[in-house]
Amino acid sequence: MSRKPKSKKKRSHGPRPAQRRQEREATRQILEWLAPTSLAEIGHLMATASLLRHEAQGGTVEFCAIVNARSGRCSEDCSFCAQSAHHHTQAETYPLMDAEEIVARGRAAAAAGAVRFGIVTSGRDCPGGPELDNICRAIERLRAERVIMPCASLGLLKQDQAERLASAGLARYHHNLETSPSFFPQVCTTHSYQDREETIATARDAGLELCVGGIVGLGETPQQRLEFFEAVAGFLPESVPLNFLNPIAGTRLEQAAPLGALEALAAIAVCRLVMPMAHIRTCGGRQQVLGRLAPLMYLAGAGATMIGDYLTTQGGQPGQDLADLTALGLRPATLDDLFAEYQTEED
């Protein structure tokens, strides 16, 4: 009696069932961390994130500051933005500052303890022509004076503009994804997520470092928040600015409920887990959302923070930020620390 040949088992090229279960369990745990009800629930998460921060940066924390170099009248309809022409807010409106004023603001930021200085302009697109010339002159002056490292956040970027900024001495370009791909249509309808992704890629192609993040608390789900972090991680940014929604009267989100402090700390920690080597940078809304728990942001994995005022809202006192650091045994990064990273370029 002849035996039937044994059929060969098909090899699976995808994850094994056990691996899939582990991945689902890990995702479930992260989603629980993103919506904590007590500090005890995220204690282990924060401890892990703090260790990762220390491995990436040691005992230093980087301070940065910005200038709103051109304010208001933005054509875009971002739901959170006080500078959108679609909203009726009390935000100031003024044209681009001249190079001398931008440089003066950079010097003031350095005197307050910042080592990076972001030149920010309202509007959809990067300024061109004489305005871009003006911004480049400011960048060249700041690099020549070596008082602070200039960064820029100028909107959607073309390749020739990116190369011009890099030639002027710009080290890093900031452009946020703002939120996850799936939630972005709820935030903005006047440009696409792909527009933002293309600008980020353009900046990288020009040799610029990247500062890419967004806002948590816009109404996204925990799943979408994790999706947002993973989307940012795909660009391997050197810096990840995390803002927390601070609802502004006159915007579409003026009635939105801000995040609780524990949820904000959990977001910082999960962001650190997703991007362990990046500078996780706490920015707008941190004072309002974290309140007296603000120093815990460093124990949750933050390795950088924005000091001074924000684009249209008042920030905290740099002296308090310094006191928070020293109380935790940390120290602010210095220009020597920063310029050492660029020594080859400077030489």
Range of lowest pLDDT (35-44, 102-111, 296-305): 35-44
Domains in the chain, number: 1
Grade residue 4 by pLDDT with cuts at 50, 70 and 90: very low
The answer to whether residue 6 sits within a structural domain is no
Q: How high is the mean pLDDT of the chain?
A: 89
The answer to whether residue 64 sits within a structural domain is yes
Tens of pLDDT, residues 221-241: 999 999 999 999 999 999 999
The answer to whether residue 2 sits within a structural domain is no
Q: Is pLDDT at 345 greater than 60 in this prediction?
A: no
Tens of pLDDT, residues 90-120: 878 999 999 999 999 999 999 999 999 999 9
The answer to whether residue 47 sits within a structural domain is yes
Tens of pLDDT, residues 125-135: 999 999 999 99
Average pLDDT over residues 24-46: 80
Which residue reads 């307050």 in tokens? Answer: 112
Tens of pLDDT, residues 66-98: 999 998 789 888 898 988 878 888 878 999 999
CATH number for the domain that contains residue 98: 3.20.20.70
The answer to whether residue 186 sits within a structural domain is yes
| Percent of the chain's residues with pLDDT above 90 | 73
Residue 219 CB-density burial (10 A; 0-12 exposed, 13-18 middle, 19+ buried)? middle
Average pLDDT over residues 300-309: 92
CA 136 to chain centre: 23
Nearest to residue 84, comparing CAs of 175, 191, 174?
191
Alpha carbon of 71 to those of 32, 75, 172: distances in Å? 39, 12, 21
The answer to whether residue 18 sits within a structural domain is no
Partnered with residue 241 across adjacent β-strands are 281
The residue among 342 and 102 whose pLDDT is bigger is 102
Q: Residue 253 in contact with residue 224, Cβ under 8 Å?
A: no
The answer to whether residue 218 sits within a structural domain is yes
pLDDT of residue 11: 42
Range of lowest pLDDT (74-78, 161-165, 278-282, 329-333): 74-78
Grade residue 141 by pLDDT with cuts at 50, 70 and 90: very high
Provide the domain limits for residue 262.
Answer: 42-340
The answer to whether residue 62 sits within a structural domain is yes
The residues near 75 (Cβ < 8 Å, ≥ 6 apart) are 85, 123, 124, 190
Q: Which amino acid is at 157?
A: L
Give the global pTM. 0.89
Strand pairing report for 116-121 and 149-153: parallel
Alpha carbon of 210 to those of 63, 151, 204, 241, 321: distances in Å? 16, 10, 7, 10, 24
Q: Any idea what DSSP says for residue 276?
A: T
Average pLDDT over residues 266-289: 96
